[in-house]
């Protein structure tokens, strides 16, 4: 007669919480203090204490970013002593496994080679580390003592012309701190990562009351904004007879007709990719995922989880707030076995429509109706 045996184990279903790097940005560039150190910053941080008393583009960008973000905003900074060493700071952060959604280069972007370096860093992060990042940088700010808006626009058009970098945002620094304003609006927790910084309902730019002028005393206006926008820049804009200064779409340097010409589309896809990657790792050499019909159908639901979570909407005071994306539907998740050990999972992310150009028509009814 055999002896009775009991064993109890546990399984990992992969149903836990995902890490959330969204809205956490890494700032790299020159500053006056803490060179080569990883600095964590929030709304209460004394920027003079951690980045130095002297002025720097990094300190200015972070100052405006937190003004235009929300109460729980945080960021990470890796200052360098000299301009042009942002790549060293970035590599240091990656080696230290700093978790972030995007990288903000605060040193001025002045050549196509600078843009290419950011694009290569974004591609390498994905290929080498499975990290899905966007990069953002800005030009030198307008020098109002020597430069006209026409010269500033022409220089920006030349800088970005012909460049392919769909993970890179290039901001024309219309005034010192504009890059930070844009990044702060992207990190406002009151809106989704699927929202454009163009969104008017969340208020105007904080810290800017008038638009800057050039050497001729001409204020930045809608014509200048259109020209820079056409060159894939992200710019401040105003609406006639409507108070406040607002923001245009956050464009990337993607080519014409790209799916990722605006950053909000790239952000939601990157979020889905981060989470799907974790789910895929948990299924390596796990025979639960096999080529049977039952397994394939079960794992369509398994891999759809990030899309389902991202699609959840809320309702506050009868105001409907949509999720990041639309709920996944039949056909949005496909699983194909290429061999006995190689499986391919394909997912489709569908963003919500967003009105960025609104035409309203008002008609007149002149019918003579009896009382």
pLDDT digits (tens, 9 = 90+) for 200-238: 998 999 999 999 999 999 999 999 999 999 999 999 999
Claim to verify: residue 119 and residue 207 sit in the same structural domain: yes
Claim to verify: residue 176 and residue 310 sit in the same structural domain: no
Question: Within a domain: residue 371?
Answer: no
pLDDT on residue 95: 96
Total domains, the chain: 2
Question: Within a domain: residue 215?
Answer: yes
Contacts of 90 (CB under 8 A, 6+ apart): 26, 28, 78, 103, 121
Claim to verify: residue 353 and residue 233 sit in the same structural domain: no
Claim to verify: residue 307 and residue 359 sit in the same structural domain: yes
Domain boundary among 200, 231, 265: 265
Question: Within a domain: residue 11?
Answer: no
Claim to verify: residue 217 and residue 130 sit in the same structural domain: yes
Question: Within a domain: residue 6?
Answer: no
DSSP label of 321: E
**Owning domain of residue 133:** 25-265
Claim to verify: residue 166 and residue 39 sit in the same structural domain: yes
CA dihedral over 218, 136, 85, 111, signed as positive or negative: negative
Cβ–Cβ contacts within 10 Å for residue 171, how many?
Answer: 25
Question: Within a domain: residue 79?
Answer: yes
Which residue in 74, 142, 80, 129 sits closest to 105, CA to CA?
Answer: 80
Residue 310, phi-psi category: left (phi > 0), alpha (psi -120 to 50), beta (remainder): alpha
Claim to verify: residue 95 and residue 236 sit in the same structural domain: yes
Mean per-residue pLDDT, 110-128 = 96
Claim to verify: residue 200 and residue 118 sit in the same structural domain: yes
pLDDT on residue 1: 59
Claim to verify: residue 216 and residue 309 sit in the same structural domain: no
Say if residue 176's pLDDT is above 60. yes
Question: Within a domain: residue 75?
Answer: yes
Which residue in 132, 120, 128, 73 sits closest to 273, CA to CA?
Answer: 132
Claim to verify: residue 160 and residue 99 sit in the same structural domain: yes
d(CA 147, CA 26): 31
Question: Within a domain: residue 280?
Answer: no
SS3 230: helix
Domain boundary among 265, 297, 332: 265
Which residue in 358, 354, 357 sits closest to 193, CA to CA?
Answer: 354
State both tokens at 115.
């843009």
Claim to verify: residue 96 and residue 236 sit in the same structural domain: yes
pLDDT on residue 308: 96
Say if residue 3's pLDDT is above 90. no
d(CA 205, CA 248): 11
Q: Which residues of 287-303 are buried (b: 16+ CB within 10 A; e: fewer)?
A: eebeeeeeebeebbebb
Contacts of 364 (CB under 8 A, 6+ apart): none
pLDDT on residue 371: 57
Question: Within a domain: residue 53?
Answer: yes
Claim to verify: residue 261 and residue 300 sit in the same structural domain: no
DSSP label of 213: B
Say if residue 183's pLDDT is above 90. yes
Q: Which residues of 324-348 are buried (b: 16+ CB within 10 A; e: fewer)?
A: bbbebeeebbebeeeeeeebebebe
């Amino acid at each position: 007669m055999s002896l009775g045996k009991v064993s109890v184990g546990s399984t990992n279903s992969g149903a836990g919480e995902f890490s959330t790097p969204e809205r956490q940005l890494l700032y790299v560039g020159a500053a006056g203090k803490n060179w080569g150190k990883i600095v964590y910053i929030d709304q209460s941080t004394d920027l003079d204490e951690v980045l130095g008393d002297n002025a720097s583009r990094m300190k200015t960008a972070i100052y405006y970013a937190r003004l235009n973000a929300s109460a729980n905003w945080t960021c990470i900074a890796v200052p360098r002593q000299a301009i042009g060493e942002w790549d060293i700071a970035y590599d240091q952060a990656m080696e230290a496994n700093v978790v972030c959604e995007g990288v903000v280069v605060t040193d001025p972007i002045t050549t196509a080679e600078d843009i290419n370096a950011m694009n290569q860093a974004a591609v390498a992060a994905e290929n080498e580390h499975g990290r899905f990042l966007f990069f953002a940088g800005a030009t030198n700010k307008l020098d109002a003592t020597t430069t006209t808006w026409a010269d500033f626009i022409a220089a920006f058009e030349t800088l970005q012309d012909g460049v392919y970098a769909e993970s890179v945002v290039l901001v024309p620094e219309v005034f010192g701190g504009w890059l930070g304003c844009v990044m702060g609006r992207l990190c406002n927790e009151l809106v989704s990562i699927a929202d454009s910084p163009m969104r008017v309902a969340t208020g105007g730019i904080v810290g800017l009351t008038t638009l800057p002028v050039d050497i001729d005393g001409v204020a930045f206006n809608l014509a200048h904004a259109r020209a820079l926008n056409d060159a894939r820049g992200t710019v401040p804009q105003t609406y006639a007879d409507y108070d406040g200064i607002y923001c245009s779409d956050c464009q990337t340097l993607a080519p014409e007709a790209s799916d990722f010409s605006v950053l909000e589309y790239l952000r939601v896809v990157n979020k889905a990719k981060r989470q799907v990657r974790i789910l895929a790792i948990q299924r390596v050499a796990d025979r639960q995922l096999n080529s049977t019909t039952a397994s394939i159908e079960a794992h369509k639901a398994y891999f759809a989880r990030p899309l389902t979570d991202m699609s959840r909407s809320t309702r506050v005071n009868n105001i409907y707030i949509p999720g990041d994306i639309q709920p996944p539907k039949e056909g949005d998740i496909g699983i194909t076995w290429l061999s006995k050990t190689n499986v391919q999972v394909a997912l489709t992310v569908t963003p919500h429509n967003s009105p960025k150009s609104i035409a309203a028509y008002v008609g007149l009814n002149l019918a003579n109706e009896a009382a």
